[in-house]
Amino acid sequence: MILRDLSVFGLPVLVLWAVASARADDDLQAAVFQDGGQSLRYRLLRPAACDPQKSYPLVLFLHGAGERGSDNQAQLKHMVGMFAAKENREKYPCFVLAPQCPANEKWSDVNWFAPTHQQPERASPSMALAVKLIAALEKKEPIDPRRLYVMGLSMGGYGAWDAVVRYPGMFAAAVPVCGGGDETQAAAIAKLPIWVFHGSADGAVPVVRSRHMVEALRKAGGSPNYTEYPGVGHDSWTSASKEPGLLPWLFAQKRP
């Protein structure tokens, strides 16, 4: 059974890498973003038939702790593949940005195991670079600034919550999967379309982190979607990525 609730600057440089592989995620081109002496490896999926006269949504995908590193490959392990699937590329043409957080960093510098946390004053270095990268891509690609979305799982779920609070007005929707945010900041994002996912038996990130964020949003006047999977552990992203309504809902969102 699935519980559902649908009461819904230096000059930056982008350097492309050539990557040979026979996998489906070949469609996500490998590159490195450089800014002020810092760098961020990432993959970018472009619309299959990209018309420069049109504009397309962009999904920022933030991976979990286990996918950190420098291979520019591990961040594609979970969820990203659904965007690269042929049927979805035809039905939902979009850009998907999947940066890779270095091994010693986080998308949000918080304690993942604490029952609650206060949002850090500053963005983590990797999060700050990811946002600068989006701005750089907007200058060279036909991206619709009204349709920027953020999706993250586990460590990336924390990052998704952090991003929508830290950069108000930037994102049109958010999909935090098994993460947690600062409940005292709920009022700032109460009107943002958000779909939250978590497994009730999550042993890594307590399910109360999502429950409490959803409750705080509702108290602030919001109506987030919340799907909790009974008996599912930390890998709730597996079930979330199979939700038939997720992509239609996500790509229907647009900032005024």
Q: Is residue 192 part of a domain?
A: yes
pTM of the model: 0.91
Q: How far apart are CA 171 and CA 164, in angstroms?
A: 7
Q: Is residue 49 part of a domain?
A: yes
Q: Is residue 256 part of a domain?
A: no
Q: Is residue 40 part of a domain?
A: yes
Q: What is the pLDDT of residue 22?
A: 31
- Which CATH number do you get for residue 168? 3.40.50.1820
Q: How far apart are CA 77 and CA 74, in angstroms?
A: 6
Grade residue 14 by pLDDT with cuts at 50, 70 and 90: low
Q: Give the tens place of pLDDT for each residue, 25-35.
A: 679 999 999 99
Q: How many domains does the chain have?
A: 1
Domain interval for residue 237: 3-251
Q: Give the tens place of pLDDT for each residue, 149-208.
A: 999 999 999 999 999 999 999 999 999 999 999 999 999 999 999 999 999 999 999 999
Q: Give the tens place of pLDDT for each residue, 114-132.
A: 999 999 999 999 999 999 9
